[in-house]
Amino acid sequence: MADNNIVAWVEDHVIGYFANRFHYPTTVFKWDTDVRKAFHFDPTSWAELADQFNRQDWMIQIHVLLAQQQMGKLKTIGDVTSLICDEYRKERSFAANVPTASALKKPQSSAAKRKRK
């Protein structure tokens, strides 16, 4: 997914999560909506929200896991979206650098090949 596409896609899912959970139309949520304040999350319940996001099918699909500690300073739809997108970019960068199984196989020298015959 292109970078702009992933941001919009994640934002839609973050908004969808809050809209479903609190029974509001998605149209009331914007990038700068302070959902932490609007829904009176205390620090513990806000941190535990990371676990709720981790269980979402769309988060599993993009191979992103959030830690409760990462939620501390976040407040808005944009903050949550940005964190998830940052973690997605890290995961993609890591995955791109993992060698494939064929790259891990050690090539045999011609002498070793002759000995086995």
Judged against a pLDDT cut of 70, whether residue 115 lies above it is answered with no
**Region for 21 from its dihedrals, namely left if φ exceeds 0, alpha if ψ lies in -120 to 50, beta otherwise:** alpha
Strand partners, 76: 34
Judged against a pLDDT cut of 80, whether residue 67 lies above it is answered with yes
Q: Are 31 and 42 in contact (CB under 8 A)?
A: no
Domain boundaries, given as residue ranges, for the chain: 3-116
Judged against a pLDDT cut of 60, whether residue 10 lies above it is answered with yes
Q: pLDDT digits over 77-112, tens only?
A: 999 999 999 999 998 765 555 565 555 565 565 555
Q: Give me the pLDDT at residue 102, please.
A: 58
Cα R_g (the chain), whole angstroms = 21
